[in-house]
Amino acid sequence: MIEQPYTAMTQTSANTDINDRLTNDTAITETIAAEVSSAAESLPHPILAEVNDRCFISEEHLKRYTEPSQLPTDTRTADDLDVGFGQQRAIKALRTALDINASGYHVFAAGENGLGKRTIITRLLQRIASDAPTPDDWVYVHNFTDPRKPLALRLHTGQGLLLKQQVNTLWQQASKRLNQRFRSDHYQSKIEAINNTSQQQESQAYDALNAEGKAYDLTLSFRPYDNKAVFVHPSQLATSTDSSAADNAMTAESVTEQSYESKLDNFVQKNHMQKRLSQLTITLEQLEDEANASIETLHRDIAQRALEPLFIPIYEQFSAQPLVIDYLKTMLADMITHVERIVNADDEKFVAAVLGATPSRYTVNVMVSHQPDEGVPVIFENLPTHLNLLGHVEQVTQSGTVITDVSMIRAGALHRANGGYLLLEASQVLEHPYAWQGLKRALQTRKIKLSSLEQILALTGSLSLEPSPIELDIKVILLGEADLYYELLELEPEFDAVFKIRADFHDDVIRTSEHELALVAKMADIIDYADLCPFDSEAQATLLEHLSLQAEDQNRLSLHSDRLIKLLHESNRHARLQDQEIVTASHVIQAIADMDERSGYLRDLYWQELKNGQQLINTDGGAVGQVNALTVVSYADSEFGMPARLTALIQPNIGTGDILDIERDVELGGSLHAKGMLIMTSYLRALFSQHHALNFSASLAFEQSYAHIDGDSATVSEACALLSALANVPINQAFAITGSMNQLGEVQAVGGINAKIAGFFDACREQSLTGQQGVVIPMANVKHLMLRDDIIEAVAAGQFYVYGVNTLSEALTLMTGLPIDTMNKKGRYRKDTLFGKVLQRLMLWDENQANANADDLEDKKSKKKKAAKKKAKNKKKPKQKPEDRAADLGKKNHGKAENDKSHMHSEQPHATADNTSA
Q: Is 184 a catalytic residue?
A: no
Active-site entry in 117, 164, 475, 756: 756
DSSP structure string for 267-330:
HHHHHHHHHHHHHHHHHHHHHHHHHHHHHHHHHHHHHHHHHHHHHHHHHHHTTT-HHHHHHHHH
Buried b (16+ CB within 10 A) or exposed e, 702-741: beebeeebebbbbbbbbbbbbbbbbbebbbbbbbbbbbbb
> For residue 539, what is the enclosing H or E element?
helix 537-551
H or E segment to which residue 8 belongs: helix 3-42
Q: What is the CA radius of gyration of the chain?
A: 57
Phi-psi region of 621 (alpha: psi -120 to 50; beta: other; left: phi over 0): left
Query: Could you write out the DSSP letters of every residue in 509-522?
Result: EE--HHHHHHHHHH
Closest residue by Cα to residue 778 from 752, 800, 816: 752
Three-state DSSP state, 753: helix
Rounded Cα distance, 342 and 105, in Å = 51
Strand partners, 659: 698
Q: Which of 221, 713, 724, 740 is catalytic?
A: 713
Q: How far apart are CA 817 and CA 814, in angstroms?
A: 6
Q: Do residues 167 and 362 make contact, with C-beta atoms less than 8 angstroms apart?
A: yes
Query: What gap in Å lies between CA 285 and CA 270, rounded to an integer?
Result: 22
Query: How many Å apart are CA 333 and CA 326, to the nearest integer?
Result: 11
| Nearest Cα to Cα of residue 761 among 112, 62, 99, 66 | 62
**Any residues with CB less than 8 A from the CB of 838 and at least 6 apart, and which?**
688, 723, 726, 727, 829
What lies within 8 Å, CB to CB, of 477 at 6+ separation is: 94, 106, 107, 108, 109, 121, 421, 422, 423, 424
**Which of 101, 97, 93, 104 is CA-nearest to residue 494?**
104
Q: What are phi and psi for residue 448, nearest 5 degrees?
A: -100, 110
Q: Tell me the pairing of strands 378-380 and 421-425.
A: parallel
Find the largest Cα–Cα distance for the chain: 228
Look at residues 306, 317, 305 and name the one whose alpha carbon lies nearest to residue 164.
317
The values of phi and psi at residue 205, to 5°, are -65, -40
Cβ atoms of 641 and 787 closer than 8 Å: no
713 among known catalytic residues: yes
Q: What's the CA angle centered on 294, arms 292 and 296, to 5 degrees?
A: 70
DSSP labels for 154-185? EE-TTHHHHHHHHHHHHHHHHHHHHHHHHTSH
Find out whether 535 and 551 touch, Cβ atoms under 8 Å.
no
CA distances, 336 to each of 175, 300, 339, 857, 911 (Å): 11, 6, 5, 123, 169
Q: Which residues does 808 contact at the CB level (< 8 Å), separation at least 6?
A: 683, 716, 719, 720, 741, 745, 746, 747, 820
As to burial, measured by CB atoms within 10 angstroms (0-12 exposed, 13-18 middle, 19+ buried), residue 553 is buried
CA–CA separation, 834 and 821 (whole Å): 7
Residues in the chain: 918
Q: Which residues form the catalytic set?
A: 713, 756
